[in-house]
Amino acid sequence: GCCRLLCKPSALAQHLVRSLGRSAVLWGGHWPWPRWPRLQMLQQLLKPPEPEPAVARELLQMPDGGLVALDWLVGPRGGVGGGPGPVLLLIPNAAGQVTGGLLQLGLRALERGFVPVVFNRRGHNGCPLTTPRLQPFGDPGDLREAVTYLRCRHPAAPLLAVSEGSGSGLLLAYLGESGSSSHLAAAACVSPIFRGQDWFEAGMPWLYEWPLLLHLKRGLSRYAGSLAEAVDVEGLLGSRSLRELEEALFCRTKSRPASWETYWERNEPLRDADEAAVPVLCLCGADDPVRGPPARSLPLELFRSSPYFFLLLTPRGGHCGFPRRGPGRCWGHEAVLEFFRAMAEFLRAEERRKGLPWPG
């Protein structure tokens, strides 16, 4: 009801406005503490889904010998989630933390016939680190390999992607760098971080930063021996902020050190945004305490000028929260799935009208 859709006028935008306007999900976002976005954030980070889904892990080897992990959601009781439905690639935040909210979205998608799979970066979420290299904030190389594999494994199924929080930096970089060759039919970013350098430099609420910092250090400490040849492990594990840790991992390396500014020239999420060629929904709360104030953290001109980017902005929703009353209820998840449904509906209508695939 209080949401705003900011986008460039187009037939696709009109269709999306009608679809979301008819949907009940945007009219039921109620929360007992609407003015406490940090409480929403903490609840989203710490509360596991009910029931917790079972997953089947698959390891993919990258060209340099590194490994990433794909976790296929198979339901809370091990039921098979395969079939002819769309494949939904779920991308966790940049710390690799698979939150209860992300798993809950996967379960909702599974119930609706999607085939959800979680992308885990090198060394994250129990994925073995076989090379002394992790994935920089906006380097989509490993994601590109995973998408290519999913396209080969499910050649007839539409491929969709949704990212959470700082993980959106990876998805946005991939969409821009890949352009019309992304193999994705549509994508969505929940509470995305658009400007990586500004975000790290501004600092984050300690309720968000410290749990993720400890989560990262705990995972990296397992690989201290192999990382020692590439970085200063003592300085890495002594980092007091996410920025310090990012610099220790990717700027103060032993073989190819780089300045902070040079690192972000290569890793800003929106560096190639003009090349993106698939519809992207960005769901943002104006009160997001992690992203920062909308005036400085939202690239409003991008949504006004690009026919592919859509900003769904709500006054309240916190960071990846968007809660409503009831157990496991997040209206943001429903909005994302409604967006994917609307995109598929628009695609079918365009194919019938023109006989050409979208975009044409």
128-137 pLDDT, tens digit each: 999 998 999 9
- Rounded to whole angstroms, the Cα distance separating 306 from 180 reads 14
Sign of the CA dihedral 356, 357, 358, 360?
negative
Sign of the CA dihedral 77, 219, 205, 166?
negative
215 versus 43: the higher-pLDDT residue is 215
**β-pairing, 280-285 with 309-314?**
parallel
Per DSSP, 274 falls in state G
Encode pLDDT of 292-333 as tens digits: 999 999 999 999 999 999 999 998 888 998 877 655 568 899
- Secondary structure (3-state) at 205: coil
Per DSSP, 166 falls in state G
Mean pLDDT of 107-116: 94
Mean pLDDT of 255-274: 96
- pLDDT given at position 208: 86
- pLDDT given at position 360: 38
Bridge partners of 56, per DSSP, are 72
Which sequence spans correspond to the domains of the chain?
4-195+270-354, 196-267
* pLDDT over 80 (residue 200): yes
- pLDDT given at position 295: 92
Question: In degrees rounded to 5, what are phi and psi of residue 57?
Answer: -90, 140
- Rounded to whole angstroms, the Cα distance separating 269 from 177 reads 10
* pLDDT over 90 (residue 82): no
- pLDDT given at position 247: 97
pTM of the model: 0.91
Mean pLDDT of 108-113: 92
Mean pLDDT of 81-109: 88
Catalytic amino acids?
Answer: 288, 319
**β-pairing, 309-314 with 4-6?**
antiparallel
- Rounded to whole angstroms, the Cα distance separating 114 from 84 reads 8
The closest of 31, 348, 317 to 165, measured between CA atoms, is: 317
Q: How many residues does the chain have?
A: 360
Mean pLDDT of 56-69: 97
- pLDDT given at position 163: 98
What the block records as the tokens of 235 is: 């300085």
Distances (CA, A) of 276 to 58, 280, 308, 335: 29, 9, 7, 22
- pLDDT given at position 331: 87
What the block records as the tokens of 160 is: 């969709």
Mean pLDDT of 116-126: 96
- pLDDT given at position 317: 84
- pLDDT given at position 341: 95
**β-pairing, 115-120 with 309-314?**
unpaired
83 versus 101: the higher-pLDDT residue is 101
Mean pLDDT of 271-293: 95
Sign of the CA dihedral 157, 158, 164, 166?
positive
- pLDDT given at position 79: 47
Tell me the percentage of the chain whose pLDDT exceeds 70: 86
* pLDDT over 50 (residue 33): no
- pLDDT given at position 88: 98
Considering 222-236, 261-275, 311-325, the range whose residues carry the highest mean pLDDT is 261-275
Banded pLDDT at 118 (limits 50, 70, 90): very high
Architecture of domain 4-195+270-354: 3-Layer(aba) Sandwich (3.40)
Encode pLDDT of 180-195 as tens digits: 999 999 999 999 999 9
42 versus 351: the higher-pLDDT residue is 351
- Rounded to whole angstroms, the Cα distance separating 148 from 155 reads 10
- Secondary structure (3-state) at 315: coil
**β-pairing, 87-91 with 4-6?**
unpaired
What the block records as the tokens of 87 is: 């494949």
* pLDDT over 60 (residue 335): yes
* pLDDT over 50 (residue 47): yes
Question: At 271, which amino acid appears?
Answer: R
Tell me the average pLDDT of the chain.
Answer: 88
